[in-house]
Amino acid sequence: MSTQAVEIEVLGRKLKVNCPAGQEDALREAAADFDQRLKDMSERTKVTNTEQLLMFAGLNVCNEMHSERKEHKGKASNFSNKINLLTETLDKALQNQPKR
């Protein structure tokens, strides 16, 4: 898989980051989102220490990901249970069909 060097900006710092070809726009969007989160957090908390901002933002993102995964697993489990129930119902219905 080929990679492409992409220049992004976070907290006024320009960085060159390699990413898979075709994913440049997604990387730019992610960088813009991260930059905005850092700026919002800095304004909201009055924290100006870059290291602390990055640490807090990383923890927030990880917490969001953890919550999303947990919710996704719950929905997937619920969906799986519904499929199993439907399968059982169909099996019972087919067993009760008169033989031809």
pLDDT tens for each residue of 32-91: 999 999 999 999 999 989 999 999 999 999 999 999 998 888 888 888 888 888 888 888
Q: What is the distance between the alpha carbons of residues 97 and 43, in angstroms, rounded to a whole number?
A: 68
Check whether 94 has a pLDDT greater than 90. no
Model confidence pTM above 0.75: no
User: What's the pLDDT at 74?
Assistant: 82
- When pLDDT is cut at 50, 70 and 90, the band that residue 12 belongs to is very high
Check whether 13 has a pLDDT greater than 80. yes
User: What's the pLDDT at 100?
Assistant: 65
Query: Where do the domains of the chain lie, and which CATH numbers do they carry?
Result: 3-95 (3.30.160.880)
The answer to whether 57 touches 41, Cβ cutoff 8 Å, is: yes
